[in-house]
Amino acid sequence: MSTLTKILIVLVTISSIFLCGIVVTYVALADNYKDKYDEIKTERDSFKETANDKTEQLNKKIAEKDALEDKLNREIAKLNTEISTLKGDLKAANDEQKISNQRLSDMASVVETTTQTSKETTKLLMDTQAQLTLAEAEKTKLEAQFEDTSNTLLEKLAIIQTLEKEKKQLLEEKAELQSRMDKLLQPTGKAPAPVVIVTPPTDVARPAPVITKKIELRGLVTAVDSKNKMAGISIGTADGVKEGMRFHVTRANKFICDILIIDTDAEEAVGVLELIEEQPRPGDTVATNL
Amino acid sequence: MSPNRRIRGGKVIAADNLYTVILGLAFCIVLATAAFVAYKCYFQYETIFNIP
């Protein structure tokens, strides 16, 4: 055997040992791809099943979400309707509150006017009471004067009776003297001259002239109730209007009717229509004096 | 040591049987490697030559 063959045998042996070692090492350390494939396939199937379950749950949740969304939409529509109703109620309540506030302010003004009128009435009552006291004092004084005057009158009546008796006696004496004078003068053909009165006759007492003052109230007709023959005027107790006063209604110097006041307020008065020649209208002039 | 050891030029020279043994050893190693690979293929993929 040649040396070259020997070298080749040694090299083949070494290389085969080396290559076989590499192959054995590789095969021993190589992964089991079939197991990995099975494992991955099992895992994939599991994931697929899980995905199906999740998809089913998702569909279920979507259906529940749709149902809930429909329910919520119905509730939203219902709540929107309630909101609209409540807005309407709120608006009505606000309007009512405005009206109430207006009424309250009107009532406050009425109360204020009434209070002022009450104060004026109280003041007027006090003045009237003072005048009544004065009138009672005056009455007492007049009663005393009346008593004196009555006594004086009685005395005067007694004097008058006495004077009448004396007058009667004088007339009788005058008649007697006249008859005697006639008997004395008739034979001489004379007659007595008529008696001339020396004392001047006293004047007859006359009533003193009555001094009056015109009221001079003027206003306008504010309302007319032709059915009940009633009318309202624009002036009241603050201007001096009193119950029982009579106002004349005119329109451009033409007489329309009379209004007899039956109820008064601070700023207005109401009365009954009388002597109607023409139907009065709001705006016609009313006055106490034509 | 092979009995065919010879001395050539004053040096000891191995006999030819030694190289036969070495060659046989290499063959056995290759054979064992092939058997090991076949074993691993069969038990891992349940086949030797086919692709699963």
Q: Do B37 and A23 touch (CB under 8 A)?
A: yes
The answer to whether A270 touches A258, Cβ cutoff 8 Å, is: no
Radius of gyration, CA atoms only, chain B: 20
pLDDT for the residue numbered A20: 94
Nearest CB to A24 within list B26, B33, B44: B33
pLDDT value, residue B52: 67
Does pLDDT of B44 surpass 80? yes
Residue partners of A105: CB distance under 8 A and separation at least 6: none
Nearest CA of chain A to the CA of B17: how many Å?
A: 10
What tens digit of pLDDT does each residue of A160-198 get?
999 999 999 999 998 998 888 888 887 777 776 776 767
CA–CA separation, A268 vs A221, rounded Å? 10
Nearest to B30 among A10, A16, A35 (CB): A16
Instruction: Write down the ipTM of this complex.
Output: 0.76
- The pLDDT value given to residue B2: 44
CB A222 within 8 A of CB A259: no
Asked if A13 and B36 come within 8 Å (Cβ–Cβ), the reply is no
Amino acid symbol at A37: Y
For A51-77, what is each residue's pLDDT tens digit?
999 999 999 999 999 999 999 999 999
Contact A34 B52 (CB under 8 A): yes
**Is A274 a residue whose pLDDT tops 50?**
yes
A117 touches A266 (CB < 8 A): yes
Identify whether the C-beta of residue A272 lies closer than 8 Å to the C-beta of residue A262. Answer: yes
Residue of A289, A246, A252 lying closest to A269 (CA atoms): A246
Residue B45 forms contact with A (CB below 8 Å)? yes
Q: What is the arithmetic mean of pLDDT over A140-160?
A: 91
Residue of A nearest to B38 (CA): A27
Averaged pLDDT for residues A204-217: 72
Strand segments (E) across chain A:
218-225, 230-233, 246-250, 255-264, 269-274, 285-287
Q: For residue A28, which residues of chain B lie inside 8 Å, CB to CB?
A: 40
- Asked if A278 contacts A250 with a C-beta cutoff of 8 angstroms, the reply is no
Among the partner-chain residues B33, B36, B45, the one whose CB lies closest to the CB of A34 is: B45
Supply the pTM of this predicted model.
0.34
Mean pLDDT value across chain A: 89
Nearest alpha carbon to residue A100 among B31, A92, A83, A35: A92
Distance (Å, whole) CA B27 – CA B21: 10
pLDDT of residue B14 exceeding 70, the answer is no
Range from A80-84, A141-145, A207-211 that averages highest in pLDDT: A80-84
Is the pLDDT reported for residue A218 higher than 50?
yes
User: What DSSP state is assigned to residue A244?
Assistant: T
- Give the gap in angstroms from C-alpha A43 to the nearest C-alpha of chain B: 19
The residue ranking higher by pLDDT, A59 or B2, is A59
Predicted confidence (pLDDT) at residue B7 exceeds the cutoff of 70:
no
CB-based contact, B39 to chain A, within 8 Å: no
Nearest CA in chain B to A38: B45
